[in-house]
Structure 1
């Protein structure tokens, strides 16, 4: 036990439990513990910093880490998400997805602005998916801060990308300017984040520039409290009431951190007045340590479950060796428990029915929600097309439609993630209730987020082939309409002795030609509008088809993951009980051999119980603070 794995005591416990599983011939438990060992390898919490354009997100990240590491500009916004993590030496890597993998390019930290801001990469024309910056900042130990581009409303492309990342975030900081109250898009973004992320906070920036920031904070508090009674999915909830507001001044914090001429007391006062220390305390003590505590609890629970299965067989063998007369009775009791565990793998088990029915209901509900959202988009698009000429406004209309469709699909995905978590908890509850008295504590496998299950991408909305209406065509239509007028009026005027071509016939021809031209223009406009509406419907149908397939694939993957997880748990328990029954029956008739075996069993049982006690003590310490937190908060 002198060599500790890199992950500390949690990783050490998992490795000890894996060795025990190998020694006790339990490859099923060794495989499960191997998955746990890989899951706890990275204990860094992921924090998304989101908000509108020029709200002060990048400056807030710099203030939190205690220095100007990321580029800021008064006029140029961030275009590429930038993740800040701890490292021994400053370094920056640009990442871009390519066919068959990813492409990485290492650059100098001084050149970061040329790649992640509008100065050198407007609209992210380079196509970088994100940048990874490693910095030797103590506060980043255990954290990954992600500075995102401006949202610009939930319908913007940047906001759609941000919403897709929300389910995987340990915390979300919604950044808003302290000079104005929260806007409707900011409230919608906060509501969406609170539905899927365990920690959400609103950070008001630039309070040093706005003396009325306290009134703004009170107004924002009222907005959040009122919005907390109604969730984004229409159900009641209080998630937004728990969202905290942090008034901050990044300029004061950076001034206190970077001005070496300031007296230490003044620097501390400025840092405290800036409000950044409260944000650091949230990230370090609650977010980073919260993730670490969850990681420790997961490790401890898995080790305790494994130890309980090891110990069950040893206890039964010990009792049978101590009293051979009880061996058959012990074996019979274990067989009854084994039959109960085996029933959990039956297709008629309640948790199986709950899972199958729940996935079926989710497929129907999520598909209906997607179709309902996209039908509303189509209705809005048709209203917009009725008021415009698609041939003139298509360049503005197509991006707007893409944004609306993307926003609807992203909201549907977030809602699906929330519903699948609820289903997983319900299945776990029924599984535990059906196995009461037999099952050890049950942990729920995390549901997949659908990554890698996407169907073929939907092509961009193509402009319909509108009929050309040039000068020559207008002239021909006018002449065709005027011909009838000239001929009709000219024939009537010849009765009065006038020529065929006279002022009356020519005037009538001009009048009828103009009317024909106007009517033809209206018919052509209606044709263009109808063709544009058909193009919109075809595009939305393609999106509905592909997004629906993605949702069904994700839910089927959830179903398989939960089914395999709980079936494996039942099989592990059934195997443990089978080994227990065999150990209870295999009682040596020879007293000397039985005594020697009893001593060995007692020793093994003591080792297993010692490992379980270590896991319980570690779990008990998971919620306690540490001196390291105080050091990082003050860094």
Structure 2
């Protein structure tokens, strides 16, 4: 079964909804049609700095499509998509939308690597490379920056994109074991992505890669039960590229790339297509059930006019249950409202708790150093810690949001049992993490040579005067060795004490700057999370309310059809034939939807 069959199925269902006078159902299917139209899976390729991510992407593509360098890293995410002609588009986020710029494929390195765009000074959000490569069909392969490690701002910003991804490939060098941050990333990704894999690179450079693969497998098995299904795939991009250039099939098999491509094709692309197919066919089946209910009731009433009243009574009771679903006191409404309030509280507490830990660690670090000397190293470190905390909070909020959506859907279905047709759960909202600004340096008091001399002279003046006055009693001059020595001693002590007080002031000012920065982050990130949860609440409320309204309208049409029973036998028989024909059409559409759904399930079993 291909995508065209699914698109045609949804198109026919929309035509049926329009023909039977149900614009509400047609609108519902139009959303499904738009979802099915773009069925490309999003795959994030993540990893540490210079782990070989871009080289691996090139190996998957079967050629050197993206720029690589032994010393210069990628600074801008590059999205690889399938297309008939090679093209590159640079995208920058601007107020009110996006700014795009077309460049030649040969100019990509000037904009996405450190060679031409260090630290992404141009401010590009991503680059989109269109390539005529078959492996990209049905997939968006994203080469992400890894500058500075998995705790860098670029990587934690990419981690915030995990809830919207279908798969994540963690690229690691085959010469070492998985680190604790990498295991934490895999565990986070496994909670929100359908497919996660650890890809070992450069096996051609490390003879002991098999032992590393076994150790990594053990780390994943012991880290968490959910990570036991995460595969570890040893690969060599250099061998794969050499095999592609010289058309050597045996060398390509030895590189390990065929297994990775099979994973992308079957688990990622096939898995997304299967999920979209199940969602679309479920929606078509819901529409068929609502359209057919009207004709079934009319058919039963026409076949036995004496049953018309009983059918109408049953429909009225069903309508009362549906009306109760729309009431604000309905259980699913209470679950949604209470759950949203609980989520707001829990997510805000989680964010504050994470950032409080960051603040405590930052203040402890400031106690052991002079902010004026170490600020250039301290500010990026704090930025990394804050970004990591915010991004982790975003991913956790996404998990809790999906859990709430499933719980509301369950209660809605339970309250409408026997009335509601099978439903597809609404798509979850993806919360994005706004970038966190860098920490501004406080205005530290300057403590130069002239200021040190002034402080020393001010402290020595009292010592010279005090000891000099005492020695004049013994007939000595005001300035004598004793008074000068006392002045030097007190001046030195005053200078040392003042330096300590200045250090404490700088530390206090730095701590205050950290607290203000964290407060600003909590204010902005907290507002973002509350806005996201309110949007989720509105989306779920509108979805289930619309579902109840659609069913109520179907029941009203069914009730009217059951009551409109012709007394004349000839007319009744003619109408009965028409109703039977309409039911046959809807049953044929329903069978077609079930056949497409079952074909996807059978294909998944064969692939497994």
User: Which residue of 525, 529, 535 corresponds with 1:547?
Assistant: 525
CA contact (8 A) 2:186 2:196 kept: yes
Partner of 1:87: 83
Partner of 2:35: 39
Partner of 1:233: none
Partner of 2:231: 244
Q: Deviations over 1:387-444 (max 9, x none)?
A: 1111222222122111111110000000000111111111111111111111111111
Partner of 1:311: 292
Q: Aligned with 2:188: secondary structure?
A: helix
Query: How does 1:240-319 map onto structure 2 within 5 Å?
Result: 240-260=227-247, 267-319=248-300
Do structure 1's residue 611 and structure 2's residue 589 form an aligned pair?
A: yes
Partner of 2:380: 399
Q: Aligned with 1:209: secondary structure?
A: coil
User: Which residue of 38, 44, 51 corresponds with 1:48?
Assistant: 44
CA contact (8 A) 1:284 1:629 kept: no
Cα drift, residue 99 of structure 1: 2.2
Question: Take 2:41 and 2:385, find their aligned partners in 1: how far apart are those partners?
Answer: 31
Do structure 1's residue 413 and structure 2's residue 406 form an aligned pair?
A: no
Query: How does 1:433-582 map onto structure 2 within 5 Å?
Result: 433-450=414-431, 460-582=438-560
Q: Aligned with 2:100: secondary structure?
A: strand
CA contact (8 A) 1:82 1:132 kept: yes
Question: Take 1:389 and 1:333, find their aligned partners in 2: how far apart are those partners?
Answer: 80
Partner of 1:330: 311
RMSD: 1.8
Q: 1:625 and 1:68, CA in 2 relative to 1: closer, same or farther beyond 3 A? A: farther
Do structure 1's residue 386 and structure 2's residue 370 form an aligned pair?
A: no
Q: Bigger CA drift: 614-623 or 384-393? A: 384-393
Partner of 1:231: none
CA contact (8 A) 2:167 2:193 kept: yes
Q: 1:629 and 1:123, CA in 2 relative to 1: closer, same or farther beyond 3 A? A: farther
Do structure 1's residue 339 and structure 2's residue 316 form an aligned pair?
A: no
Q: Aligned with 2:169: secondary structure?
A: strand
Partner of 1:321: 302
Q: Deviations over 1:256-297 (max 9, x none)?
A: 11115xxxxxx2211111110000000001110111111111
Q: Deviations over 1:171-194 (max 9, x none)?
A: 110000011111122112211111
Cα drift, residue 100 of structure 1: 2.2
CA contact (8 A) 2:88 2:129 kept: yes
Cα drift, residue 545 of structure 1: 1.0
Partner of 2:10: 14
Question: Take 1:344 and 1:564, find their aligned partners in 2: how far apart are those partners?
Answer: 13
CA contact (8 A) 1:305 1:440 kept: yes
TM (norm. structure 1) is 0.93
Question: Take 2:362 and 2:349, find their aligned partners in 1: how far apart are those partners?
Answer: 20
Q: Aligned with 1:8: secondary structure?
A: helix
Question: Take 2:327 and 2:336, find their aligned partners in 1: how far apart are those partners?
Answer: 13
Partner of 1:234: none
Partner of 1:263: none
Question: Take 1:421 and 1:99, find their aligned partners in 2: how far apart are those partners?
Answer: 30
Cα drift, residue 458 of structure 1: 6.4
Q: Bigger CA drift: 292-301 or 142-151? A: 142-151
Cα drift, residue 446 of structure 1: 1.2
Do structure 1's residue 67 and structure 2's residue 100 form an aligned pair?
A: no
Q: Aligned with 1:174: secondary structure?
A: strand
Partner of 1:354: 335
CA contact (8 A) 1:50 1:151 kept: no
Cα drift, residue 324 of structure 1: 1.0
User: Which residue of 106, 118, 124 corresponds with 2:120?
Assistant: 124
Aligned residues: 607
Q: Deviations over 1:191-246 (max 9, x none)?
A: 11111111000000111111111110111011111111xxxxxxxxx221111100
User: Which residue of 135, 142, 167 corresponds with 1:139?
Assistant: 135
Q: Aligned with 2:71: secondary structure?
A: coil
Question: Take 2:513 and 2:52, find their aligned partners in 1: how far apart are those partners?
Answer: 40
Partner of 2:177: 181
Partner of 1:204: 200
Question: Take 1:151 and 1:568, find their aligned partners in 2: how far apart are those partners?
Answer: 46
Q: Aligned with 1:344: secondary structure?
A: helix
Cα drift, residue 7 of structure 1: 5.0
Q: Aligned with 2:509: secondary structure?
A: helix
Question: Take 2:591 and 2:231, find their aligned partners in 1: how far apart are those partners?
Answer: 38
Q: Bigger CA drift: 411-420 or 83-92? A: 83-92
Cα drift, residue 450 of structure 1: 3.4
CA contact (8 A) 1:11 1:37 kept: yes
CA contact (8 A) 2:76 2:144 kept: yes
Q: Aligned with 1:134: secondary structure?
A: strand
CA contact (8 A) 1:373 1:408 kept: yes
Q: Aligned with 1:621: secondary structure?
A: helix
CA contact (8 A) 1:49 1:148 kept: yes
Question: Take 2:502 and 2:409, find their aligned partners in 1: how far apart are those partners?
Answer: 61
Cα drift, residue 602 of structure 1: 1.1
Do structure 1's residue 106 and structure 2's residue 102 form an aligned pair?
A: yes
